[in-house]
Amino acid sequence: MSSQNEKTNYTYILKCADGTFYCGWTNNLEKRLAAHNAGTASKYTSPRRPVELIYTERFATKQEAMSREYRIKQLTRQQKIDLISNKSS
């Protein structure tokens, strides 16, 4: 029962070609992933292509997704690896 104006918001983690992680948020995962791989979405990911989507979380609001992005960015690399591993198990 969602209206046309309601969008799902996502916090996501990408694995870059150099093995580093990138965390962001979007309301259109396919379009955002394509932009990252085209080199137009982020200064960080542009030279680290191709990127692979390895983790997502869904949120009802942009604010929730942005807040979660901020919290994930505060994690250590190992904590991010643990988060990704726990989600897929």
Q: Where are the beta strands (DSSP E) in 16-77?
A: 21-26, 52-59
SS3 89: coil
CATH superfamily of 9-83: GIY-YIG endonuclease (3.40.1440.10)
Among 11, 57, 15, 61, CA closest to 36? 15
Residue type, 22: Y
pTM: 0.90
Q: Could you state, in order of their start, the residue ranges of all structural domains in the chain?
A: 9-83
- Average pLDDT of the chain? 93
* pLDDT 10s digits, 52-61: 999 999 999 9
Per-residue pLDDT tens for 59-68?
A: 999 999 999 9
pLDDT tens for 15-40 read 999 999 999 999 999 999 999 999 99
